[in-house]
Amino acid sequence: MREGPLRLLPQFLFDTQHPKPLYVLKGWLLTLLPSIALAALVTMGADSPPSPDFGGTGPVVFLLLVLFAPVAETFIMVPPLLLLNRFVGPVVAVIGSAVGWGLLHSWAEPLWGLIVWWPFLVFSTVILVWRKKSLSTGMVLAIAIHALQNGVAGLGLLFA
């Protein structure tokens, strides 16, 4: 699976023997740090920072963003990802999933997709890598990484 552009991803991401808590922490940093860099680049070229309207702030929005969204989006992501993987292989599946989720998030905020494609590339990779061992484990790990990723934005909303 680690072929083509996916070779550029760190080796730990493809290691199902990696301790799961450490895997989640490293996976989160792998999504967070490039997302911050992408957000800075997109913000420099935009009139206003790209930030979708979550319909408010506070604990309910925080819980929706940190708990509900990662679970729901993972369950929506898995069937198309597995179909793409079956018919066109893992590289196209992962990239296609990331681009698709970037486009979907762009509907909420046009420039947001330029930032969120990266985390979804990582989430998709996690699911396909761990699928060989256990699809449910891959989904849980992707959800955990996603929840931590969203937690950063969620904390900003919670304390806004």
Task: Please state the pTM of the whole predicted model.
Answer: 0.92
Q: Would 4 be classed as within a structural domain? A: no
Q: Would 58 be classed as within a structural domain? A: yes
Token pair of 141 as six digits: 């790990």
| Residue 99 to residues 24, 29, 137, 150, Cα–Cα distance (Å) | 22, 20, 24, 18
Q: Would 3 be classed as within a structural domain? A: no
Q: What is the pLDDT of residues 14-68, one digit of tens each?
A: 999 999 999 999 999 999 999 999 988 988 877 766 566 667 677 888 899 999 9
**Rounded Cα–Cα distance for residues 106 and 127 (Å):** 23
Task: Give the residue numbers spanning the domain of 117.
Answer: 19-43+52-158
Q: Would 119 be classed as within a structural domain? A: yes
Polymer length of the chain: 160
Contact 129, 117 (CB under 8 A): no
Token pair of 95 as six digits: 């990239």
Q: Would 6 be classed as within a structural domain? A: no
Q: What is the pLDDT of residues 66-123, one digit of tens each?
A: 999 999 999 999 999 999 999 999 999 999 999 999 999 988 888 888 899 999 999 9
Q: Would 65 be classed as within a structural domain? A: yes
SS3 per residue for 76-88:
HHHHHHHHHHHHH
Overall number of domains in the chain? 1
